[in-house]
Chains A and B, each alone.
Chain A
Amino acid sequence: MDRAPDDIELEGIELDLFVEAMRRRHGYDFGQYAPASLLRRVRLLAERHGDGVISVLTRRLLHEPELLPQLLEGLSVPASDMFRDPPVFRTLREQVLPLLASYPHITIWQAGCAHGEEVYSLAILLEEAGLYERSQIFATDLSARALERAREGIYPLRSAQQWSRNYLAAGGSHSLADYYSARYGLLKLDRQLRRNVTFAQHNLAVDQVFCEAQLVLCRNVLIYFTNPLQQHCLTLFRDSLVRGGFLCLGLRERPDSAEAAADFVPVNADLRVYRRRSAAAMKRS
């Protein structure tokens, strides 16, 4: 009998033990993450920190707490781009912000902000709509290291060309270069852009509602979660949104089967922009 398939069984046990160790030692529960992508990330971490063996990684996780921030970074939302999927940001600019303008104070939550590319994109949208002064953005992530990077707002300059194109395709009225300075192969975003941003650690799997928002962005985060955790997050977003508040998910995400999806109506289903149902509509349904 070929030995190889046993490796797969063994690796499955190792992955379960890693998840268990992470939960019991550090309180982070990855038990509801989609197994295939979780295994890939844990394998990559094992390559980097565990001689390619998940059990070795688990041993280090248990005995070397200083390794935790690096592991959490490797297990959380990957970096994005500024104005990724420009039509989405164009829709936010043209259809969502004009409605948010009617609120005296605008609260926005970006869940899973990674390195902050989309947070600053949002800040620029608000700035150009003349709404930023009365806006507050909460940018949260599981990973403290990701949040540090996000706070810095420094990115490789090689991204600038693509991001500038994205910005214009999203209906930008200036030049993206107006918002950053470039040197030593890096681009540094204008610090003014984060004057109304609060970066904070938040774990979607266990942490609670902490704000009442008019807009929640959570793009390409739920794709890493199993159905029950996806459902949990959609409920969390619903409860964090004012009635009529907006929700923006990733372009290939499929929330439709989750029960909480019934509490949202599409603004643009193709672009995954939704609105929390009004009280009257919720009563009817």
Chain B
Amino acid sequence: MKHPAAIVLGCSAGGPEALKTVLGGLDPHLPQTVLVCCHTGSETVELLCDLLGRASRLPVIEAAEREPVRGGVVQVAPAGYHLLVERDLHFTLSVDPRVNLSRPSIDVLFASAAAAWRGALIGVVLSGANADGAEGMRELRRLGGCAIVQAPDTASAHTMPQATLDRAGADHCVPLDAIAPLLNRLCLP
């Protein structure tokens, strides 16, 4: 695969705790774009950004439509909208119907990111209680991206990582604690 330009992370139930562990372990000099899609069920992701921002050494902000994607910043999909990445690396939002009962949907983010970055993308699926993300990860791998899946037995909800393994397979299936070191190794120059 190419040297990664971006990381996309997807999760739902148990996701915020898992994200704290992963983002908390990321090297603050990581130049990559980091995008997060987490089903929260809340009206906004303001609290999620605060929570993750306290755990992470990279700044954590909500992704905004029409903004260019940024490196060295964690950008979170807003509640109630699908987040998509355009080929020219700007964000687009959509209120199209839910996918896998979810909006934002991990499949939607992953598929658009895969088309934008192709082989220069790492996808990460963490804890979650539905199968969103599995199809997106399949597309990401098809276009040459690298798949990291949290080992299901280390996930507080194993359905999502298991469904991803079943549907897409993985380049790395590792315990939660090993994900950040792996990302640092793959991403730092």
Task: Give the CA-CA distance A70 to B125 in the complex, in Å.
Answer: 35
Using Cβ atoms and an 8 Å threshold, which residues of chain B touch A2? 119, 144
Task: Give the CA-CA distance A79 to B95 in the complex, in Å.
Answer: 9
Q: Which of A1-58 contact B (CB under 8 A)?
A: 2, 4-5, 8, 34-37, 39-41
Find out whether the CB atom of A8 lies under 8 angstroms from the CB atom of B143: yes
User: Is A156 at the interface (CB under 8 A from chain B)?
Assistant: no
User: Is B180 at the interface (CB under 8 A from chain A)?
Assistant: no
Q: In the complex, which of the residues B67, B85, B93, B97 has the most CB atoms of chain A within 10 Å of its own CB atom?
A: B93
Minimum CB–CB distance from B147 to chain A (whole Å) comes to 14
Residue interface bits B106-124, CB-to-A below 8 A is 1, else 0: 0010011001001100000
Find out whether the CB atom of A223 lies under 8 angstroms from the CB atom of B92: yes
Task: Give the CA-CA distance A277 to B84 in the complex, in Å.
Answer: 33
Task: Give the CA-CA distance A252 to B81 in the complex, in Å.
Answer: 9
Find out whether the CB atom of A36 lies under 8 angstroms from the CB atom of B92: yes
B interface residues, how many (CB within 8 angstroms): 27
User: Is B100 at the interface (CB under 8 A from chain A)?
Assistant: no
Q: In the complex, which of the residues B87, B92, B97 has the most CB atoms of chain A within 10 Å of its own CB atom?
A: B92
Find out whether the CB atom of B64 lies under 8 angstroms from the CB atom of A36: no
> Contact partner of B86 among A8, A34, A257, CB < 8 A?
A34
Find out whether the CB atom of A8 lies under 8 angstroms from the CB atom of B64: no
Task: Give the CA-CA distance A4 to B108 in the complex, in Å.
Answer: 18
Using Cβ atoms and an 8 Å threshold, which residues of chain B touch A41? 96
Minimum CB–CB distance from A227 to chain B (whole Å) comes to 7
Task: Give the CA-CA distance A4 to B94 in the complex, in Å.
Answer: 26
Known: A78-B96, A227-B66, A252-B78. Contact between A8 and B108, CB under 8 A? no
User: Is A164 at the interface (CB under 8 A from chain B)?
Assistant: no
Find out whether the CB atom of A257 lies under 8 angstroms from the CB atom of B66: yes
> Contact partner of A220 among B95, B97, B144, CB < 8 A?
B95
Using Cβ atoms and an 8 Å threshold, which residues of chain A touch B54? none
User: Is B185 at the interface (CB under 8 A from chain A)?
Assistant: no
A interface residues, how many (CB within 8 angstroms): 23
User: Is A224 at the interface (CB under 8 A from chain B)?
Assistant: yes
User: Is A149 at the interface (CB under 8 A from chain B)?
Assistant: no
> Contact partner of A252 among B65, B115, B118, CB < 8 A?
B65
Residue of A nearest to B118 (CB): A5
Using Cβ atoms and an 8 Å threshold, which residues of chain B touch A39? 115
Using Cβ atoms and an 8 Å threshold, which residues of chain A touch B112? 36, 40
Find out whether the CB atom of B144 lies under 8 angstroms from the CB atom of A78: no
Using Cβ atoms and an 8 Å threshold, which residues of chain B touch A5? 118-119, 143-144
Find out whether the CB atom of B84 lies under 8 angstroms from the CB atom of A8: no
Known: A36-B84, A36-B85. Contact between A4 and B142, CB under 8 A? yes
Minimum CB–CB distance from B143 to chain A (whole Å) comes to 5
User: Is A254 at the interface (CB under 8 A from chain B)?
Assistant: yes
Q: List 29 A-B contacts (CB under 8 A).
A: A2-B119, A2-B144, A5-B118, A5-B143, A8-B118, A34-B84, A35-B86, A35-B87, A36-B85, A36-B87, A36-B92, A37-B82, A37-B84, A37-B92, A37-B96, A39-B115, A40-B84, A40-B96, A41-B96, A78-B97, A79-B97, A223-B92, A223-B93, A223-B95, A252-B65, A252-B93, A254-B64, A254-B65, A254-B67
Which residues of B line the A interface, CB within 8 A?
Answer: 64-67, 78, 80-82, 84-87, 92-97, 108, 111-112, 115, 118-119, 142-144
Which residues of A line the B interface, CB within 8 A?
Answer: 2, 4-5, 8, 34-37, 39-41, 78-80, 220, 223-224, 227, 250, 252-254, 257
